[in-house]
Amino acid sequence: MTEFLYTADALPVLQNRVYPDAASALNCPTGDLALLACPRTGIVVNAKFEPGKVIYDAAYHNEQAISGAFQDHLRQVADLVQRHVNCTAIVEIGCGKGAFLDVLAGRGIAAVGFDPAYEGANPLICKELFSARAQIRGSGVILRHVLEHIENPVDFLRVIRDANGGGGRVYVEVPCLDWIIANRAWFDVFYEHANYFRMSDFERMFGVVVHAERTFGGQYLSVVAELDSLRDPGPSDAPTWPSDFGHGLARRADPKQPASTQLVWGAASKGVIFSLMMQRAGHPIAAAVDINPAKQGRYLPCTGTEVFAPDRAMAQFPRGTRAWVMNPNYMSEVDRLAGHHFELRPIDP
């Protein structure tokens, strides 16, 4: 019998798809999660991941660049890319709504993108998934929060390498599994992520790693590597998974706080899982708050929690209402928006 590192049942297959009404949100597609270290590559994977369940289109909203704090991160990434990648011909695979390409364009760097979730009119962005048919020939390839969604990441990198003529540099940004483990971040584990990476995975995956660091407060891994040095990573020891990984939920399920006085600030991935687990613990969240207009007035998957704009939340919920801030990187920004109205609580341990 396989011993999994961590399991969770009936998670939404897409955290960043919101729904027009509570009924459709409650009936959204779900999938189970069971993490283990792949015996072939050493990468931690969801053994129950089914790629056919995960469909990305214009209804998928994972745009973080509305936040000033995240815009700062994108500028730092652009600095990193300019230092370590030849920017004469940049290709971003999985460019989302095009925010990072806009940052590059502001620096005079023309880049092309691929993403079926793109909704704008930039002729340099193909509204489709990247495939082997694309002969991209980029001096640099950008993969921001893409590789964790791919069932066979090394094979996918091979496709990119071959489509790009066998070489070039790649910038990869993914969530940091070591951060998730160290912070017991059960709210940062999703069905949608087929893989969970450690820095050692990239050191085994590439013969030449040009640059590697942890970014965004340690939550992300940022790696620049030579595509032509890609290799089979080979097995590795599984991470030590803490026995108290999910215990932080109990600390937040405060019986003295009725559901009518608890909110989450951040209707994205962390907020979706936090709301779901709190509901399952018998402490449902009254509403989610988000600055993204595409999510406001809509409902989170699995729980049917409504998403409010900040001004509407402040008008509807009394002063002192507890609001769980879903990412510590946004704490100062949230405090500026509504800190004196809500009792803000960071979700990090």
Burial of 113 (0-12, 13-18, 19+ CB in 10 A): buried
CATH superfamily for domain 248-346: NAD(P)-binding Rossmann-like Domain (3.40.50.720)
Check residue 136 and give its pLDDT. 77
* 33 pLDDT more than 80: yes
* 156 pLDDT more than 70: yes
Task: List CB contacts of 167: < 8 A, sequence separation 6 or more.
Answer: 161, 226, 227, 228
pLDDT tens digits, one per residue of 7-29: 999 999 998 899 999 999 999 99
Equal CATH topology for 68-227 and 248-346: yes
Check residue 70 and give its pLDDT. 84
Average pLDDT over residues 43-71: 82
pLDDT tens digits, one per residue of 214-243: 999 999 999 999 999 999 998 999 999 998
Give the Å distances, CA to CA, from 15 to 214, 272, 310. Answer: 24, 6, 20
* 324 pLDDT more than 70: yes
What CATH number does the domain located at 68-227 have? 3.40.50.150
**Is-contact 319 341, C-beta < 8 A?**
yes
> Global pTM?
0.92
Check residue 253 and give its pLDDT. 59
Q: Which residue has the tokens 């069905």?
A: 191
Quick one: pLDDT band at residue 246, thresholds 50, 70, 90?
confident
- Where are the domains positioned within the chain? 6-53, 68-227, 248-346
Determine what percent of the chain is predicted with pLDDT higher than 90: 71
Check residue 41 and give its pLDDT. 94
Average pLDDT over residues 324-329: 91
* 259 pLDDT more than 70: no
Lowest mean pLDDT among 9-13, 22-26, 281-285, 305-309: 281-285
Quick one: pLDDT band at residue 37, thresholds 50, 70, 90?
very high
Q: Tell me, what DSSP letter sits at residue 197?
A: B
Which one has a higher pLDDT value, 240 or 69?
Answer: 240
Average pLDDT over residues 38-52: 95
